[in-house]
Amino acid sequence: MADQPTILVLNGTNLNMLGVRQPEIYGRETLGDIEAACRERGAELGLEVDFRQSNHEGELVGWIQEARGTADGIVINAGALSHTSIAILDALLAAELPVMEVHLSNIYKRDAFRHHSYVSKAARGVICGLGSLGYLFALDALKRQLAQDQA
């Protein structure tokens, strides 16, 4: 349906490796599995899901810039770029859209360098440690936030 809100679900560096990458931390689900689950949840919620992954910071920045005119909200797991990229933070701030940050792992139980995320400064909410369920909760939350923003 054309009038459904569109949510850009963005995945950053190394998330294309899910399923084979450190399964003890990230589980056995592939990014394709997560995409399918997001599409199913999106359909239930009446949200159009635009699901993407890139290992390139500039490509992610370009997609976030485009989202300003084309999407209604953003779910982002920027991978390691969460901890390093002021460029992604600036793009998210410029997008002026509701943003939910997701991490599959609990970044606060891990290395100290993972405890800080630049993305968080642009996010309404942060979900970590719940695996792929976090993406689905982020879609639920955005659906409610969009309704609240319109009220």
Contact pick of 75, 76, 100, 107 for ligand DQA (by CB under 6 A):
107
Q: Is 120 in the site for ligand DQA (CB under 6 A)?
A: no
Rank residues 64 and 146 by Cβ distance to ligand DQA and give the closer one: 64
The residue among 9, 17, 20 whose CA lies nearest residue 50 is 9
C-alpha 27 chain-centroid distance:
18
Q: Is 103 in the site for ligand DQA (CB under 6 A)?
A: yes
Cα 133 to Cα 30, 66, 71, 126, 127: the distances in Å are 13, 27, 22, 13, 9
| Least distance to ligand DQA, CB of residue 12, Å | 7
Q: Is 34 in the site for ligand DQA (CB under 6 A)?
A: no
Residue 144 to residue 33: CA distance in whole angstroms: 24
Residue 107 to residue 21: CA distance in whole angstroms: 16
Contact pick of 53, 54, 77, 85 for ligand DQA (by CB under 6 A):
77
The residue among 53, 42, 27, 41 whose CA lies nearest residue 106 is 27
Residue 48 to residue 35: CA distance in whole angstroms: 12
Rank residues 3 and 24 by Cβ distance to ligand DQA and give the closer one: 24
Q: Is 143 in the site for ligand DQA (CB under 6 A)?
A: no
Q: What angle do CA 34, 40, 41 make, to 5 degrees?
A: 90
Q: Is 30 in the site for ligand DQA (CB under 6 A)?
A: no
| Least distance to ligand DQA, CB of residue 66, Å | 22
Residue 108 annotated among the catalytic residues of the structure: no
Residue 56 annotated among the catalytic residues of the structure: no
Residues labelled catalytic: 26, 103
Binding site for ligand DQA (CB under 6 A): 14, 77, 79-80, 82, 103-105, 107, 114
